[in-house]
Amino acid sequence: MKPRLLALTATVAALLVAGSANAAMTISFSELDWSINAGETEITQFQGGPTLGAIAFDGPGFSLSGTAQLFTGSVVGVSAAPAMPSSASVYNGSTGRDGTQYLSIQGGQTATLTIGGAGLSEISLYVGSLDTYNTLSFHYVDGTSGPAINGQTVADMTIVNQANGNQQSGNTNGRLTLTFDKPINGVTLGSSQNAFEISELAGISAAVPEPASWALFIAGFGATGAALRAQRRQRLVPVRLRT
C-alpha cells in the first residue's frame, strides 16, 4: 500500500453532543494505528472463547455478552479480518490483516461490553472495514444512555473516514477513539448487515477521588455549613433600642 498524505493520516477530532442524555463525547479516528492512545490500557484482543463470555481480559471488571461471534480469517460476504499495519503484533504478513481471532458482529447481532468500577472516561476500538450501518451506543454510570452513533457519524465528525466498508483502506481500518465528559459503564456494538469487525479494545478508567480528596471535600462542606450557621446567628441577635 502506498503511503497516504500526512493530512489524511493525522487524527482529526470533533465534539458530539449526545442528545437527550446531555452527555458530550469527542470522536477521533487514526488510520491503521495499532498503538493504543496515551494513558490507555488494553482491555482485550478477543482471545480465548469459544463464547463471548469466555474471552480473556487484561484486567478485572469487564465482561462481554451478546450474539456476536469470535472469528478468524475472512469469508467473502460474511466477515473480513481488519487490515493492519505491519508493526501490529497481530499482523499476518501474507494477508496484511489481523491473523488472530477478532470480534465479528454480523447482521442483526450485538455485543455488549460491561464495565465495572468507576467506568471509563475513554474507550478506543481497532475497527475493520467500518460501514455506515455499524453502530455503537453507550451506557453511563449515572444510569442514563446515549443515542447510538454509527459509521456515518464517525465519517461526518472525523473528516478522513468514509465508512464505505473498504477492507484495506486506512479510511475504514484503524483506531476509533471516544472520550466522554461523564464515565460509561457499558457499550453496545451492533450492525444491521455483515459485519462490524473489531480487533482490540482499550480505555482509560474514570478517576476515583482519593480518600484524602474525599476528606477535604467533606471538610469543605462542613466549613461552609458552619459559616452559614454563624451568619444566621449573627442575623438573629436581638438589638435593644434606647427610648
Which residues, listed in sequence order, are joined to residue 177 by a DSSP beta bridge? 28, 124
What is the pLDDT, as a whole number, of residue 67? Answer: 98
Between 218 and 125, residue with greater pLDDT:
125
In angstroms, rounded to a whole number, what is the distance separating the alpha carbons of residues 71 and 81?
Answer: 8
Closest CA to 154 of 4, 21, 9, 11: 11
Q: What amino acid occupies position 40? A: E
pLDDT in tens, 146-186: 888 999 999 888 865 578 999 999 989 999 999 999 999 99
Ranges of each domain in the chain: 6-205
Over range 13-18, report the average pLDDT.
Answer: 44
What is the pLDDT, as a whole number, of residue 214? Answer: 44
What is the pLDDT, as a whole number, of residue 146? Answer: 85
- C-alpha distances out from residue 185 to 68, 71, 206, 235, Å: 20, 25, 10, 48
Between 24 and 242, residue with greater pLDDT:
24
What is the pLDDT, as a whole number, of residue 1? Answer: 36
Which run of H or of E encompasses 72? none
What is the pLDDT, as a whole number, of residue 241? Answer: 38
Between 229 and 180, residue with greater pLDDT:
180
Other Cβ atoms less than 10 A from the Cβ of 92: the count is 14
pLDDT at 20 over 80: no
Chain centre distance of CA 145: 14
What is the pLDDT, as a whole number, of residue 208? Answer: 64
- C-alpha distances out from residue 154 to 61, 94, 97, 130, 176, Å: 28, 30, 22, 9, 8
Over range 207-231, report the average pLDDT.
Answer: 54
CATH class belonging to 6-205:
mainly beta
Over range 199-208, report the average pLDDT.
Answer: 92
Over range 66-80, report the average pLDDT.
Answer: 97
- C-alpha distances out from residue 123 to 43, 95, 120, 197, 204, Å: 9, 28, 7, 16, 7
Closest CA to 166 of 191, 201, 132, 126: 132
pLDDT at 195 over 80: yes
- The whole-chain average pLDDT of the chain stands at 83
What is the pLDDT, as a whole number, of residue 27? Answer: 94
Closest CA to 57 of 217, 209, 203, 242: 203
Closest CA to 26 of 208, 133, 205, 154: 154
Q: What's the CA angle centered on 67, arms 64 and 68, to 5 degrees? A: 75
